[in-house]
Amino acid sequence: MKEYTKDKRNRVKRGANRALYDTESVHKILDANFMGYVGYVYDGYPITIPMAYGKKDDKIYIHGSTANRMLTSILENEKISMTVMNLDGLVLARSGFHHSVNYRSATLFGNLKKVENDKEKTDILENIVNHMVKDRWDSLRPMNQQELDRTLVAEFTIETASAKVRAEGVGDEPEDYKEEVWAGIVPIKQIAEYPIADKGLPQKMDIPKHVLDYYQQNK
């Protein structure tokens, strides 16, 4: 099993029994999502921005407008992190103390670099769009040069990472099981509702397979 190196950035300090350092567990969480929380330091302040991402092997891709001073500032930063989480349920215990949530989260640390080559940029934008909705890119009007020029693309190399997962029932104190308190799990999930066609031609078209597939897999 391939594992990420443990250092002071990714070592899980609390609930270490829920920590996972193997690359497979981390990538499973990254594959199940397309929005991550990118953390960076701006003038001494920690700032967290939700961003869509793509991925390939140990690279994570983000993008934004070249007019985006935030992304420019992230690129000047040597140190960034990204956190991705699925909330899977509420854990309602018999005591307040043991209330919790079920979740899968991954935190990545590494460096960002700007991608300059147009072909490489285009491939990465395809990767980001298809990471959101599989097979979407090929149905689209192709990128043009002006759009490419206005798009900043950055590649994040994962230096180290950790995952944390809670996927179990209520864990109450032994003496609390006699209490007449309702305890249990409320499962939580993110779903897609039926796609809504835009005005014009899409209203007369069949919803394409890649969009219906997305809906079916997430409903």
Q: Among residue numbers 146 through 205, which ones bind a second copy (CB under 8 A)? A: 147, 151, 169-170, 172, 176-202, 205
Q: Scan residues 45-64 and list those touching a second copy (CB under 8 A).
A: 45-50, 52, 64
User: Is 75 a residue that touches a second copy (CB under 8 A)?
Assistant: no
Distance in Å, CB of 1 to a second copy, minimum:
25
Using the rule CB under 8 A, which residue among 97, 114, 149, 167 binds a second copy? 97
**Complex with a second copy: residue 70 or 115, whichever CB lies closer:** 70
Long-range contacts, stretch 186-191, CB < 8 angstroms, 24+ apart: 186/89, 186/90, 186/92, 187/88, 187/89, 187/102, 188/87, 188/88, 188/89, 188/90, 188/102, 189/88, 190/86, 190/218, 191/218, 191/219
CB of 4 to a second copy, least distance (A): 15
Nearer to a second copy, 20 or 129 (CB): 129
- Pick left, alpha or beta for residue 57 (phi over 0 → left; psi -120 to 50 → alpha; otherwise beta): left
State yes or no: residue 19 binds a second copy (CB under 8 A). no
* Binding-site member from 37, 75, 115, 135 for a second copy (CB under 8 A): 37
Element housing 101 (H / E): strand 100-115
Q: Does 43 bind a second copy (CB under 8 A)?
A: yes
Nearest-approach distance from CB 31 to a second copy, in angstroms: 17
Using CB atoms within 10 Å of the CB of residue 153, give its burial: 0 to 12 exposed, 13 to 18 middle, 19+ buried.
Answer: buried
* 44 binds a second copy per the rule CB under 8 A: yes
Q: State in angstroms the smallest separation of the CB of 59 from a second copy.
A: 19
Distances (CA, A) of 104 to 87, 139, 167, 178, 193: 7, 32, 8, 31, 23
Task: Work out the widest C-alpha separation in the chain, in whole angstroms.
Answer: 69
The correct pick among 19, 75, 85, 115 for binding a second copy (CB under 8 A) is 85
